[in-house]
Amino acid sequence: MSDETMTVRLGAGTLAAEDVLAVARRRARVDLDPAARERVAAVRAHVDALAAPGHKPVYGVSTGFGALADTAIAPEMRSALQRSLIRSHAAGTGPEVEPEVVRALMLLRARTLASGRTGVRPEVLETMIALLNAQITPIVHEYGSLGCSGDLAPLAHCALVLMGEGRARGADGRERPVKDLLADAGITPIELAEKEGLALINGTDGMLGMLLMAIADLDELVKVADVTCSLSVQGLRGRDTVFHPELHTPLRPHPGQADAAANILALLEGSDIIADVAAEGSRVQDAYSLRCAPQVAGGVRDTIEHARTVAERELAAAIDNPVVLEDGTVTSNGNFHGAPVAYVLDFLAVVAADLASIAERRTDRMLDKARSHGLPPFLADDPGVDSGFMIAQYTQAALVADMKRLAVPASVDSIPSSAMQEDHVSMGWHAARKLRTSVDNLRRVLAIELLTAARACDLRAPLAPSAAGAAAIAVLRGTVDGPGPDAFLAPDIAEAEARLADGSVLEAVQSVIGELR
C-alpha cells in the first residue's frame, strides 16, 4: 500500500503519529520547511565556531566518544572521526528489520535534525529526506541496540548509506550496491563534518517508530477483540446484562471499560440468541471470560492511552547528545535514554498478552461440551470421526504462551557498555521488537476466536446472531466455509487473520452499528 501523493513536512511543527505511519507504511513523500532549513543552517554556524582551532574541547565536536570523550581530536582528523564512528557503530547482526521500521527510524531522525538542535548542515538532513523519497531502505539488523545512547547500531546502518556505504534495498525491494542506488536517484553521498556522525545516531527513533505502529495496530485489535467477544457471547448463549452502562462508569469510572462495554452491548443488539437466553432465564451469570471482558479490554484501552501520551511527548522531543541550546551552547545530556519509551512498550506487551489470554479462554469454552451449553464437542461435524477445532485451540494456546514470555519486561534489564561509561541502558529496542511479535500473535489469537465463534453461532441456527455479528461472519464466509466435516484448517486460520489485518471484518461491523469506541 502506498500514498505517494501525500507529503509530510518536517520542521513546521510537531510531527503527528499519522505522519509517521504515512511515511513508514504508505511511503508518503517528505519535504523540509524552508524556515527549518534556515534554522538548521544558523545552528550549524555555532558548531563551526566551536570547531575552530583554539577553542576549548567540546564533546562530539572536537573530542572522541563514549569512554573516549576526554580525547581531543585534531581538526584535520575530525572528518575521519565522524566516518569511523558510523562505520564502527554499524555493528548490527541477525535478521533484517522490516522496511516500515527502517523508514520510521529515518523519518524520526530527520525530524530531530530539522529541529535545529543537532548542529548538522542542511545537506545532511536533505540527503536523508532524499533517501526516503527515493524509497532507498538501508538494511538494519535485529540486534545491536541497547536503547541508550539511543538506537545506535540501527541508526548507524542508516547513516552509512548516507555516506555511500553499507547495504540497502531499492524501491523494488532488491538489494543493490549503495553507490548505484544513490547514483540512480541523483543523490550525492555525504562527507560528514564535526558533530554530524553523532547527530545521526543518537536518538530513540527506532523504538519510538515501533511504538507508534504498535499503538495504531492495537487501537484496531482492541476493537476486533470486542467483535470476537460478542460472537463468543452469542456462541456460548451468554447474557448481555453485564454490558449495560449503569454497571460501568457510575460504579467503576475507567474510561476504557465503559467503551468496551458499550461496544459489546451494541454488537449484541438484536441477537435472537441473546433474546432466547433472556427468555429462558436458566442461568444467573456467565464465566469470567465473558462477564469480565469489558474490564480486561478496558484496561488494555487505558494502557494504550497512556502509551499514546508518552509517544506524543517523545514526538515533540529533540533528542541528541550533545545538544545545541537556544543560545548556541553545545552541552551533554541524557535525553537519549530510552526508559520512558521502553516502559510503555513493555506495558503494551503485558496487556496484549492478557487480551489474548481471555480470548483463548472463550475459545476453549466453546469447544468443551461440558461448558458450551449445547454445542457439539470441539464444534466437530461428527465427533470422534472429526476433531473439529480441537487443534486450533492448541495453536491459540501456543500463541498465548509465547505472548506471556514476550510480556516479561525488557526495560528492567541493563548490561553496561562502553567501558562502564554507559552503565545503565534501557533495552527499549528489545522491548519494541518483542512487542511487534506480540501484536502479530494477538491478531492470530483473535482470528482463531473469530473462526470458532462464527462456527458456534452458525450451529445455533435457526436462532440468528445480531446484525453486527452476522456482518462479521459474512466477511469470513467469503473465503472460509461454515460448519462441516474436517478440512485443512491452517488456510482457514490464515484467511481469518488476513480479514482482520485488512480491516474488512471491522469495516463490515461498523457499517451496521457505526464507529466502535
**From residue 161, how far is each of 12, 32, 100, 130, 430 by CA, in Å?**
26, 20, 17, 12, 24
- Nearest of 43, 83, 325 to residue 190 by alpha carbon: 83
What is the edge-to-edge ordering of all strands in the sheet holding 168-169?
137-138, 168-169, 175-176
Supply 122's cell numbers.
542542511
Are 91 and 156 spatial neighbours (Cβ–Cβ below 8 Å)?
A: yes
Supply 291's cell numbers.
462477564
Find the distance separating the first CA and the last CA of the chain, reported in whole Å. 26
What Rg, from alpha-carbon coordinates, does the chain have? 27
- Nearest of 338, 341, 323 to residue 422 by alpha carbon: 338
Specify whether 143 is catalytic: no
Q: Is 384 exposed, middle or buried (0-12, 13-18, 19+ CB in 10 A)?
A: exposed
Q: Cβ–Cβ contacts within 10 Å for residue 333, how many? A: 12
How far is residue 224's CA from residue 222's CA, in Å, rounded to a whole number?
5
Q: Residue 149 carries which DSSP code? A: S
Instruction: Count the alpha carbons within 13 Å of 190 in the hemisphere toward its beta carbon.
Output: 27
> In sequence order, which residues have a C-beta less than 8 Å from that of residue 157 and are 6 or more positions away?
90, 92, 138, 139, 140, 141, 166, 167
Task: Sort residue 427 into left (φ over 0), alpha (ψ -120 to 50) or beta.
Answer: left
Catalytic residue among 59, 143, 343, 394: 59
- Nearest of 84, 86, 79 to residue 121 by alpha carbon: 79
Q: Which residues are catalytic?
A: 59
